[in-house]
Structure 1
Amino acid sequence: MKGLYLVEPVVALYAFSTYLTYPLMQQYVYRRLWHDLTNSTYPISDNTSTCAANKSSTDNNQSIYFEEVQQQASLFSLYSEVLSAIPSLVVTLMVVAYSDRGGRKLAIILPLVGTLAYTLALLSVSYFELNVYILVGCTLISALCGGLGTFLGGCFAYIADLSEDGQQKTLRIAGLDSMIGLLSGVAALSTGYFLKAAGFNWPFLTSALCQVLILLYAIFILEETVKQPPPDAANPDRSQQRSAMQQMFYGVYQMFAGASPKRRALLIILMLIFNSFCFTYIGGSSLFVLYVLNEPLCWTEILIGYGTALSTCVFLSSFMGVVAFTYCGTPQLLMLLMGILSVVTGMVMMAFSKTTLMVFLARVSMLLSIMPYAVLRSMMSKIIPKSEQGALFACLSFVEVLTANVSGAVFNSLYAATVAWYPGFSFLLSAGLCLIPMLLLGVVCVIGVDVANEDLGPETSQGDKQTSEDQNDLSPLLT
């Protein structure tokens, strides 16, 4: 049976299964902590807010309970992220960089195994009512398999292998992002109804079954794009003599060492923009569920499902934005600026949201917030040879995983410290930190045109001819 060169179904089902459990996992931990700390059942109301039920309660310590559970829930997230940080970083860098020689499927299949193991552990904790802190230890299993960073790094490198020109690469990368948003939005929208009708166990089981299907597709149907290792042009024998560990890191080293000083500077600045934007966006958005569970909003599972679905729709709207702006010839730096401003607007509105309507308006204002991810990945991919795409996306995944863990730890700690006097402070900080990538965009404007017009020289190989054409096309994209 001939395989298929379609990684989109893998990403789509992975997004669906992950977002089917992620919002529910947060709510499950929240309710278990409420039960453990208060020795009472979590207040559930058919109204749009559980605060209405809480206000009628005779327990004067209800507000204190909410604050304590909020702090413990944020610390639970902190413990999980810190424990999984280092293993997932190391595995992501090694496996995705090695995919230039060992194949992309390894970077896709390995994290799928880890995700399935974690989902089964989540199902076991829920079904048998085990200690909820077991989940903190189970994150280590997923991290040792690479996690989300390794999976997305392998998928983006897979797409880069199949793209024939720069425009196609931008659209396919953005399309992959939109696929994540579309299916995760559908999953998030259904979580509230699923939870209310069937409890926690059935959604967790459904997610596990979806992940089994993904794994079978990736193993038996998905075709490999790296048929053989790229030879070392200078010394083929030396490439064969390197150890596996050296081969993993050689591509990352060569990506920087083999570039001219100006191209290397541009690549580093683009990575700094990517890093700083990830820190502010991921850190702020990771607090949304905790924020709406707190007073005065006190959302029910139905509203959380709608809110999460709307927040994941930014993937689809950002893809439509990339397609429209690319068709209109909009410079990519301007697209980046619009995406960052979308995040700033949404975070500021969220900081002052005291009603359900304001929260939804804040989510709507962030509809272009994912656009910078696709644009930055495409811009960096165009200035890197095709034989080093795995190394590039290994670095990007490494940066993204590192930033996600650090920002999650920082913002959850900050939220736990400030929730008692002003819960919206973390969102204002996120909006303020967006100034860093905006300032770096100005630096790119200065050096970008010179780098785009820089001649690659006579040493460019025939295999990288298409990459050279992509690099010469950078000038209208950066200006």
Structure 2
Amino acid sequence: MGPGVTYPWGSRLSGFQMRTWIEPVVASTQVAGSLYDAGLLLVVKESFASNHTASQSLRGHQEDQQQKAISNFYIIYNLVVGLTPLLSAYGLGWLSDRYHRKISICTSMLGFLLCRIGLLLKVMLDWPVEVMYGAAALSGLCGGFSAYWSGVMALGSLGSSEGRRSLRLILIDLVLGLAGFCGSMASGHLFKQMVGHSAQGLLLTACSVGCAAFALFYSLFVLKVPESVSKPNNVYPTVDTVSGMVGTYRTLDPDELDKQNVSGNPLTSGKRKPSLTIITLLFVGAIVYDLAVVGTVDVMALFVLKEPLSWNQVQLGYGMASGYIIFITSFLGVLVFSRCFRDTTMIIIGMVSFATGALLLAFVKETYMFYIARAVMLFALIPITTIRSAMSKLIKDSSYGKVFVILQQCLALTGVVTSTIYNKIYQLTLDKFAGTCFVLSSFLSFLAIVPIGIVAYKQVPRPQQGERAEK
């Protein structure tokens, strides 16, 4: 990183300033989450495998039955995870805006901890897998991921200037990706460490609980809310040297438009209306793209467990870890592309990257082919991160909690619908063409380019019209 890439609170670090960093919370929470996700899938797989071993004689038929059982479990589980936060997430976001920024983060992380304790008890006491529905509901009632991530984004946006916000948010995503990579890489090895068959996964789930507990106590007793940094840097060249990040948002940033007005470029009288239109189009693009991503991730976990791949626990952990590599490559992609491309161009690059990789996944027959498809998705994180950063610059900082919760809730709600549909499609096409869902995701990702393309089209003629009016 160059000298211009610094944290929003300045170069001189004090104990208090370091306590405003949200990264330790994000890292520990994500390690706990990646361990939990891998552990839940492996525990559910082992549970249904033991249920079908005695009754099924043919291996292929047994595998199909197991796949359908796991898929049905995740249909209900994802419905619970996606719908229960609707009851509490918005209220937590409102309370965070009105009273204290940490309310949504701490409450949701309490739910995470209780959910991971539920999986630990399931492993220790050999409870039926259906108990995880209750654990997921408890986590959702505490706000779930919607309240948690909107709170994280609010703190990240609150403590960063307009000029450095996009870099600040993608740095948080980078920390999340690195933590998820480490957790996933270790998950398969930790799952194999067991005292007995009934305790399989005990060490893995215990580590997940430990990381979740650390994140909760850190957020309660160490984390401090940063002071608001609502204004961008006053010197225009200095802002422009932050790896070119701000230059990609000038047409979306009202403050940057104010600067242009001072320097001689008049604002159009309808600034509010175009901004609302841009927000709506970005919103639609984010939802459609997220549908494609959610559907692919849900089906991918089942796809690699069956033939022709038939992965074991360690291979599954490595496969999940490969998904977190995109946090690193997307971060590097933003730093490079932002020097020569606009934000809309970077979003489209990310969408094309994911769409192409999803299409390749549909025809995977060998493990190396899977990793090739994942490598093609190297810029898949750019769209959502860039859209979220751009939207944060078009709203007041006092509304971050509510707006981010609304966006995250819409993504979660549509994701629930997508998860259900994708799992049903996967069950119906399992015997014919198991990659059907990946083809559908590729189509949706290409479709998401349409609203982003409209945003790009709206951005180009506006300066030209101003110049003509001037002349």
**Is the TM value for this pair above 0.5?**
yes
Q: How many residue pairs are counted as aligned between the two chains? A: 405
From the superposition, tell whether residues 89 and 450 of structure 1 become closer, same or farther in structure 2 (CA, over 3 Å): farther
1:20-419 to 2 correspondence within 5 Å? 20-39=35-54, 61-166=58-163, 168-198=164-194, 199-225=200-226, 260-326=272-338, 328-419=339-430
In the alignment, does 2:26 pair up with 1:7? no
1:425-464 to 2 correspondence within 5 Å? 425-449=436-460
Contact in 1 for aligned 2:193/2:203 (Cα 8 Å): no
Q: CA deviation at 1:11?
A: 0.4
Q: CA deviation at 1:440?
A: 1.1
From the superposition, tell whether residues 452 and 135 of structure 1 become closer, same or farther in structure 2 (CA, over 3 Å): farther
From the superposition, tell whether residues 380 and 23 of structure 1 become closer, same or farther in structure 2 (CA, over 3 Å): same
SS at match of 2:26: helix
Q: In the alignment, residue 11 of structure 1 is paired with which amino acid?
A: V
SS at match of 2:364: coil
Q: Quote the Cα distance in structure 2 between the aligned partners of 1:449 and 1:263.
A: 14
Q: Quote the Cα distance in structure 1 between the aligned partners of 2:419 and 2:94.
A: 25
Contact in 1 for aligned 2:83/2:416 (Cα 8 Å): no
Q: CA deviation at 1:323?
A: 1.8
Q: Quote the Cα distance in structure 2 between the aligned partners of 1:107 and 1:427.
A: 34
What's the TM-score once normalised by structure 1's chain length?
0.81
Q: CA deviation at 1:6?
A: 0.7
SS at match of 1:394: helix
Superimposed CA distance per residue, residues 24-69 of structure 1 (whole angstroms, 9 cap, x where no aligned partner) = 21111011011112238xxxxxxxxxxxxxxxxxx85110010011
Q: Quote the Cα distance in structure 1 between the aligned partners of 2:30 and 2:465.
A: 40
Q: CA deviation at 1:325?
A: 2.0
From the superposition, tell whether residues 302 and 333 of structure 1 become closer, same or farther in structure 2 (CA, over 3 Å): same
Q: CA deviation at 1:386?
A: 2.0
SS at match of 1:286: helix
Contact in 2 for aligned 1:111/1:146 (Cα 8 Å): yes
SS at match of 1:104: coil
Q: In the alignment, residue 314 of structure 1 is paired with which amino acid?
A: I
Larger deviation, residues 77-86 vs 344-353: 77-86
Q: Quote the Cα distance in structure 1 between the aligned partners of 2:276 and 2:94.
A: 18
SS at match of 1:293: coil
What's the TM-score once normalised by structure 2's chain length?
0.82
Q: CA deviation at 1:128?
A: 0.8
Q: In the alignment, residue 211 of structure 1 is paired with which amino acid?
A: A
Contact in 2 for aligned 1:92/1:397 (Cα 8 Å): no
Q: Quote the Cα distance in structure 2 between the aligned partners of 1:351 and 1:319.
A: 26
Q: Alignment identity in percent?
A: 26
Q: CA deviation at 1:135?
A: 0.8
**Structure 2: gaps spanning 5 or more residues:** 1-14, 195-199, 229-269, 467-471
From the superposition, tell whether residues 409 and 163 of structure 1 become closer, same or farther in structure 2 (CA, over 3 Å): same
Larger deviation, residues 85-94 vs 354-363: 85-94
Contact in 2 for aligned 1:33/1:72 (Cα 8 Å): yes
SS at match of 1:411: helix
Q: In the alignment, residue 307 of structure 1 is paired with which amino acid?
A: G
1:18 to 33, 38, 45: 33
Q: CA deviation at 1:102?
A: 2.0
Q: Quote the Cα distance in structure 2 between the aligned partners of 1:162 and 1:390.
A: 14
Q: CA deviation at 1:452?
A: 8.6
RMSD: 2.1
Contact in 1 for aligned 2:344/2:453 (Cα 8 Å): no
Contact in 2 for aligned 1:266/1:448 (Cα 8 Å): no
Q: CA deviation at 1:287?
A: 1.4
Q: Quote the Cα distance in structure 1 between the aligned partners of 2:455 and 2:201.
A: 48
Q: Quote the Cα distance in structure 1 between the aligned partners of 2:109 and 2:461.
A: 42
Q: CA deviation at 1:451?
A: 7.4
Q: Quote the Cα distance in structure 2 between the aligned partners of 1:357 and 1:7.
A: 36
From the superposition, tell whether residues 449 and 103 of structure 1 become closer, same or farther in structure 2 (CA, over 3 Å): farther
Q: Quote the Cα distance in structure 2 between the aligned partners of 1:213 and 1:60.
A: 46
Q: Quote the Cα distance in structure 1 between the aligned partners of 2:455 and 2:362.
A: 31
Q: In the alignment, residue 77 of structure 2 is paired with which amino acid?
A: S
Contact in 2 for aligned 1:262/1:451 (Cα 8 Å): no
